[in-house]
């Protein structure tokens, strides 16, 4: 905001200096390394493709391009780069300039064709979480809401904020990106003013300030330090420029961007208030009361009250989602889908969970060599994925470990407190072992049992440095121990 107070002329001047300095920095970094032996013997055409259209803000295109061209020496142009292999540091320079597109290694053989897949396989592919449908079922109202907000802001050419919340897996990001995709389509058909779309994700940043770098990178393709990126963004959003296009910024995982100073969140939410910016910010997070709980007053005030909450899916909605994914396929029995929907809706209402369980059920049906997923397969998948393996773990302990667990439970009953010490447990162990007619290993080896059970987290124990005085907590319930050891005996 400080830059805005100066005359526009001055700030332009300043930015030119910054840019030139950036370029010179890179030169200085790369020159001494050029003498290194060229280690990379890879075909240049494959991994290097000059970026054709660097996205730039309309205001900066002309100015910055002149400065860059003036500073570039012709010998280092693209023509030489294609003929000789680059050293890694030259390559890194290209990456920072956004001229080298990141690429993955390609497969040697082609992926399997759709026509050769069975119906179960097709269903499994359709059920994968990554296959986002064009229109999300059961989120029509939220779609309308966000669409109306964004369209209004774009039409009015003003800025604003919105806060979207909801537990994970309720379709927040999918709905917002869906709205933006629709708007972008309208913009290409000239039914809506053109706008730019930027997105950042808090969890994909190593620290909150990298948000500036990522936003600037999506504008120009260049990677600069966050201080420079901050200054450049500040200049862009605070100086009025004719023919500035509206920018829509999606901020996912907002809570990660909050640090103690909250300067990043403040900046992101403060820019829309500037008349020059034409910035619309959509923020997404999990908790509904995040603005009140975590953010400072001035930030909450800027975030505004345009809020939207995504409720967890009910079992009917989950069922509709899964059947929509399946399309007209006969791979699933109707009641099987219903069972998944009811079980998941009762726990979390997470769509990812339901889809994953359905996918696992198709795998089980595949192994059973049938073509249709029935209730039994779904039940098996549910048992696997909503797993509680503690009883099984206790049953698979060795005899001494089982005695040790019983002793911990007995000591808890004796003392009445949850926390026991090793010494008390060992006394109980000796009693139980004498009762059962076995000899128990000495305390040193009992410590080994203790740390073994602690590694599995059946009990919580301290470091065995404190020997007889370490504190032991039971991490499973005493009933589980009883059930695992007694009921198993009775069945046998």
Partner 1 sequence: MPEADKELVSIRRFLKERLQRDYTTLRGYAEERSNVRLLLQRTAEMGESNSLLLIGPRGSGKTTLINAVLADVLLNKSFGENTLVVHLDGNLHTDDRVALKSITVQMQLENAADGKVFGSFAENLAFLLQCLKAGGKHSKSVVFILEEFDLFCAHHNQTLLYNLFDVSQSAQAPICVLGVTCRLDVIELLEKRVKSRFSHRQVFLFPSSQRFEEYVELCKDLLSLPTGNSLLLAAERFSNLQKIQSEALYCSRNHFDPGEYGFSPRVRETWNKQVGKVLATQQARSTLQALYDFDISEAYLKNFLFRLVAHLRPQSPHITAEKMAAVGSQFEGDDKIELLCGLSVLELCLIIAIKHHSEIYDRDPFNFEIIYARFSKFAKVSTTMQAVERSIVLKAFEHLRIAELIMPLSGGAGGGVGKVQKEFEMHKLALTYGQIQNCVQRYQALPTEVAQWAQSSLI
Q: Which of residues 372-391 bind partner 1 (CB under 8 A)?
A: 384-387, 389-390
Paired tokens of 408: 């911990």
Q: Which residues contact 285 (CB under 8 A, 6 or more apart)?
A: 163, 164, 165, 253, 254, 255
Taking the least distance from each CB to partner 1, the nearer of 63 and 371 is: 371
Candidate list 40, 368, 383, 487; residue touching partner 1; CB under 8 A:
40
What is the smallest separation between the CB atom of 335 and partner 1, expressed in angstroms? 22
Taking the least distance from each CB to partner 1, the nearer of 264 and 277 is: 264
Angle between helices 172-188 and 140-156 in degrees, nearest 10? 50
CA distance 357 to 127: 10
- Residue 172's SS3 state is helix
What is the smallest separation between the CB atom of 439 and partner 1, expressed in angstroms? 9
| Span near partner 1 by CB under 8 A; candidates 150-158, 163-171, 235-243, 324-332 | 163-171
What is the smallest separation between the CB atom of 390 and partner 1, expressed in angstroms? 6
CA distance 406 to 411: 9
Q: How many residues bind partner 1 (CB under 8 A)?
A: 88
Nearest to 62 by CA among 241, 188, 276, 215: 241
Q: Which residues contact 255 (CB under 8 A, 6 or more apart)?
A: 202, 285, 286, 287, 290, 294
Site for partner 1 in 176-215 (CB under 8 A): 203-207, 210, 213-214
Site for partner 1 in 217-236 (CB under 8 A): 217, 223
Taking the least distance from each CB to partner 1, the nearer of 79 and 105 is: 105
Candidate list 12, 14, 18, 129; residue touching partner 1; CB under 8 A:
129
Site for partner 1 in 63-122 (CB under 8 A): 88-89, 91-92, 95-96, 100-112, 121
Candidate list 84, 157, 466, 477; residue touching partner 1; CB under 8 A:
466
What is the smallest separation between the CB atom of 17 and partner 1, expressed in angstroms? 24
What is the smallest separation between the CB atom of 113 and partner 1, expressed in angstroms? 11
Residue 449 burial (10 A CB sphere; 0-12, 13-18, 19+): buried
- Residue 77's SS3 state is coil
CA distance 128 to 118: 16
369 binds partner 1 (CB under 8 A): no
User: What Cα–Cα distance (Å) separates residue 220 from each residue in 52, 214, 286?
Assistant: 12, 10, 30
| Span near partner 1 by CB under 8 A; candidates 228-236, 371-379, 410-418, 434-442 | 434-442
Site for partner 1 in 288-347 (CB under 8 A): none
Taking the least distance from each CB to partner 1, the nearer of 125 and 320 is: 125
Nearest to 335 by CA among 367, 373, 363, 371: 373
Site for partner 1 in 245-284 (CB under 8 A): 253, 256
């Amino acid at each position: 905001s400080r830059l805005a107070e100066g005359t526009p002329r001055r700030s332009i001047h300043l930015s030119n200096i910054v840019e030139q300095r950036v370029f010179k920095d890179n030169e200085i970094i790369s020159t001494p390394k050029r003498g290194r032996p060229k280690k990379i013997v890879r075909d240049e055409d494959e991994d290097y493709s000059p970026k054709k259209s660097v996205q730039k803000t309309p205001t900066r295109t002309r100015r910055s391009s002149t400065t860059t061209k003036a500073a570039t020496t012709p010998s280092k142009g693209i023509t030489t780069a294609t003929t000789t292999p680059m050293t890694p540091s030259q390559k890194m320079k290209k990456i920072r300039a956004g001229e080298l597109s990141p690429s993955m290694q390609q497969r040697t053989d082609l992926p399997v064709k759709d026509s050769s897949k069975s119906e179960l396989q097709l269903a499994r592919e359709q059920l994968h979480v990554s296959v986002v449908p064009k229109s999300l079922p059961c989120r029509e109202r939220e779609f309308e809401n966000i669409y109306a907000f964004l369209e209004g802001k774009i039409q009015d050419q003003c800025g604003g904020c919105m806060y979207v919340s909801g537990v994970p897996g309720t379709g927040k990001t999918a709905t917002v990106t869906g709205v933006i995709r629709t708007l972008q389509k309208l913009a290409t058909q000239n039914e809506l003013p053109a706008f730019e779309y930027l997105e950042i994700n808090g969890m994909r940043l190593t620290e909150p300030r990298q948000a500036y770098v990522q936003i600037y990178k999506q504008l120009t393709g260049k990677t600069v330090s966050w201080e420079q990126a901050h200054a450049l963004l500040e200049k862009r959003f605070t100086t009025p420029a004719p023919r500035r296009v509206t920018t829509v910024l999606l901020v996912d995982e907002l809570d990660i961007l909050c640090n103690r100073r909250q300067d990043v969140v403040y900046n992101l939410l403060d820019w829309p208030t500037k008349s020059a910016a034409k910035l619309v910010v959509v923020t997404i997070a999990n908790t509904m009361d995040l603005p009140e709980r975590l953010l400072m007053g001035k930030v909450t005030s800027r975030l505004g009250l345009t809020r939207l909450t995504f409720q967890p899916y009910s079992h009917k909605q989950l069922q509709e989602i899964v059947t929509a994914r399946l399309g007209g396929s006969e791979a699933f029995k109707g009641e099987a889908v219903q069972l998944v929907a009811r079980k998941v809706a009762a726990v979390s209402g997470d769509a990812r969970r339901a889809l994953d369980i359905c996918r696992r059920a198709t795998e089980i049906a595949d192994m059973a060599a049938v073509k249709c997923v029935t209730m039994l397969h779904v039940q098996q998948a549910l048992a696997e994925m909503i797993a509680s393996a503690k009883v099984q773990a206790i049953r698979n302990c060795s005899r001494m470990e089982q005695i040790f667990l019983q002793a911990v439970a007995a000591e808890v009953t004796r003392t009445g407190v949850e926390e026991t010490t090793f010494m008390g447990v060992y006394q109980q162990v000796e009693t139980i072992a004498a009762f059962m007619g076995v000899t128990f290993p000495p305390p040193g080896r009992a410590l080994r049992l203790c740390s073994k059970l602690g590694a599995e987290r059946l009990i919580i124990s301290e470091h065995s440095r404190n020997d007889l005085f370490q504190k032991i907590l039971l991490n499973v319930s005493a009933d589980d121990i009883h059930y695992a050891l007694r009921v198993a005996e009775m069945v046998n």
